[in-house]
Chains A and B, each alone.
Chain A
């Protein structure tokens, strides 16, 4: 079974080359807007998405952005990376609906964006700044569901029996039935797309960051953000709230109950400001 599932990774679309080329440019200190614009314009879908995202209230540009050049020069490096990753990842979410977990592809996309927004709220609060690596990891955390969905759909009765009758979390049921879970599978997809280790591990361990060490913060941020979004009702599909809390999470983030509630308000606010981004898929 595992081999069959791992083999299916081949069916996942190649990551948009445009995005990979842009990331290489952005990792150089001396990138020019003109260079970036030339690459963006190769890809019509990415161009359209970049414009929509740059005009969303979330990125907070005061003027209406009409051209790619304008978007690229106004956004600044961190926002550019987040915008370009969002544009690229949304293209894939549109192409592969994660059936089995969700009924429409946009459900998983909205969850992914909500988790990405939440990761930045927590990062601002805990570390005083936003973090584009964390943002990308959060946006991609459930990418394994795109492959796993087909198998989950077939084995739904067995999985739901374990979850509702035998006290399993959905993730544990996946492991028992398939020998692999959607998070591990997602890590492998990210590897195929050549994402760095930090992002791959955050995807792979987003339900079990305790299996890594506590001084690797990104997986913990993704883990907690995922639970915030799911509790808010913006979940990643049928597994919904059948996930486990880890008791060390809240002490580690030093959040009081009041802070948790405030985070819900901030997420609600950012989801509203990022409505255009949530509606990309």
Chain B
């Protein structure tokens, strides 16, 4: 098993069954894990912000920073390895916030809404989602079978 680390505002794809794509430190950011069980191709995106209109230049340099630019690149990178849209299984985790956050850091919520809107518009179903809450998460995607695991800080590991 080889751990391939996906950083903040980063994405990785693979078709090697021995690989595990992992991203640590998901606070308000969101990890989107996609997997094609037939081609055995998978990808993991860790985006930071909902909308690239904030800084189009940054989005051009690093599309993985934003939901609206990162998600299309994630899918296209998987297609390049033989994946097909109709077979892709989508899972997502993250989008946490701090306590009593009523008026400012709702960035986690905005990240969740942006992702749902993009998938809904493109007729893609989100198979499972572990979002919100007040804790950080680590996400792993095993390329051998597409299983996706979430570990919460101080908590246990669960499959989503």
Q: Chain A interface (Cβ within 8 Å of chain B)?
A: 156, 160, 169, 227, 230-235, 237-238, 240-247, 249-250, 255, 257-258, 260-262, 264-265, 268
Contact = CB atoms under 8 A, between A and B. Distances in A.
Given A241-B136, A247-B103, A235 B153 contact: yes
Nearest to A234: B25
Which 10 A-B residue pairs are closest in the complex by CB-CB distance? Answer: A233-B25, A233-B27, A250-B104, A231-B27, A231-B28, A245-B101, A238-B154, A241-B134, A244-B99, A240-B136
Interface in B1-41: 8-9, 24-29
Contacts of B27: 230-235, 240-241
Interface stretch (B47-55, B73-81, B122-130, B142-150): B47-55
B117 interface: no
B98 A241 contact: yes
B127 to A, nearest CB: 23
B102 A247 contact: yes
Interface string B106-131: 11100000000000000000000000
B71 interface: no
Nearest to A271: B8
Nearest to A172: B99
B98 A227 contact: yes
A48 B24 CA distance: 30
Contact of B135 (A227, A241, A264, A268): A241
A260 B107 CA distance: 9
B69 interface: no
A156 B98 CA distance: 20
B140 to A, nearest CB: 15
B141 interface: no
Contacts of B153: 235, 237-238, 240
Contacts of B55: 262, 265
Given A265-B49, A265-B55, A260 B104 contact: yes
Contacts of B102: 245, 247
Given A240-B136, A241-B98, A242-B134, A264 B25 contact: no
A260 B108 CA distance: 12
23 contacts: A227-B98, A227-B105, A231-B105, A231-B107, A231-B108, A232-B29, A233-B26, A233-B28, A235-B25, A235-B153, A241-B136, A242-B134, A244-B100, A245-B99, A245-B103, A250-B104, A257-B106, A258-B54, A260-B104, A265-B48, A268-B9, A268-B48, A268-B65
